[in-house]
Amino acid sequence: MNTQKSEALFARAQQAIPGGVNSPVRAFRGVGGVPRFIARGHGARLVDVDGNEYIDYVGSWGPLILGHCPAPVMDAVRAVLESGTSFGAPTEREIELAEEIRSFMPSMELVRLVNSGTEATMSALRVARGFTGRDLAIKFEGCYHGHVDSLLVKAGSGMATLGIADTQGVPQSFAETTIALPYNSIAAVEQAFASHGDRIAAVIVEPVVGNMGCVPPVPGFHEALRALTQKHGALLIFDEVMTGFRVSPGGAQQLYGIHPDLTTIGKIGGGGLPLAAYGGRADILSKVAPVGPIYQAGTLSGNPLAVAAGLATLRYLKSHPEIYAQLEARAAALTAHPPAGVTVNRVGSMFTFFFTTQPVTDWETAKIADTARFKAFFHWMLEHGVYLAPSQFEAGFISAAHTADDIQHTVQAAHAFFDQPA
Ligand code: HOZ
pLDDT-derived band at 100, boundaries 50, 70, 90: very high
The predicted pLDDT at position 415 comes to 94
Matching fold, domains 4-69+321-418 and 71-319: no
Half-sphere exposure of 224 (CA within 13 A, CB side): 16
Probe residue for ligand 1, chosen from 38, 61, 143, 264 as the CB with the greatest number of ligand atoms within 8 Å = 61
* DSSP sequence for 282-309: HHHHTTBTTTSSB----TTTT-HHHHHH
Instruction: Please tell me the predicted confidence (pLDDT) of residue 141.
Output: 97
Question: Is the CB of 408 inside a 6 Å radius of any atom of ligand 1?
Answer: no
pLDDT at residue 348, as a whole number:
98
Report whether residue 206 contacts ligand 1, using a CB cutoff of 6 Å.
Answer: no
Give residue 165's pLDDT: 76
Q: Which of 22, 23, 29 to mutate to test the pocket of ligand 1 (most atoms within 8 A of CB)?
A: 23
Q: For ligand 1, is residue 23 a contact (CB within 6 Å)?
A: yes
Closest Cα to atom 3 of ligand 1: 157
pLDDT value of residue 59? 98
- In the prediction, which pLDDT does 164 show? 85
Query: What's the confidence (pLDDT) of residue 89?
Result: 98
Q: Is 266 in the pocket of ligand 1 (CB under 6 A)?
A: no
Lowest-confidence region among 123-132, 333-342, 404-413: 333-342
Whether residue 248 contacts residue 324, with contact meaning beta carbons closer than 8 Å, is answered with yes
- 3-state SS, 4-49, equals HHHHHHHHHHHHHCHHHCCCHHHHCCCCCCCCCCEEEEEECEEEEC
How is the beta sheet containing 396-397 ordered, strand by strand? 343-347, 350-354, 396-397
Q: Give CA separation, 345 vs 210, 216, 356, 361, 395, in Å.
A: 10, 7, 11, 9, 9
**What pTM was estimated for this model as a whole?**
0.97
pLDDT at residue 166 is higher than 90: no
Calculate mean pLDDT across residues 312-328: 98
> What residue ranges in 306-356 does DSSP mark as E strands?
343-347, 350-354
In angstroms, what is the span from residue 156 Cα to ligand 1's centroid? 10
Over residues 243-260, the mean pLDDT reads 98
| % residues pLDDT > 70 (the chain) | 100
CA dist., res. 327 & res. 400, Å (int): 6
CB of residue 25 inside a 6 A radius of ligand 1 = yes
Statement: residue 135 has pLDDT above 80: yes
**Mean pLDDT over each residue of the chain, to the nearest integer:** 97
Could you tell me the residue ranges of all domains in the chain?
4-69+321-418, 71-319
Residue 21 CA to residue 13 CA, distance in Å, equals 7
* Region 345-363 average pLDDT: 97
Tens digits of per-residue pLDDT, 179-216?
999 999 999 999 999 999 999 999 999 999 999 999 99
Q: How confident is the model at residue 64 (pLDDT cuts 50, 70, 90)?
A: very high
316 is catalytic: no
Q: How far is the CA of 157 from the centre of ligand 1 (A)?
A: 6
Pick the catalytic residue from 56, 239, 261, 406: 239
CATH topology of domain 71-319: Aspartate Aminotransferase; domain 2 (3.40.640)
pLDDT of amino acid 345: 98
Q: CATH number for the 4-69+321-418 domain, one of 3.40.140.10, 3.90.1150.10, 3.40.50.1220, 2.40.10.10?
A: 3.90.1150.10
pLDDT of residue 421: 81
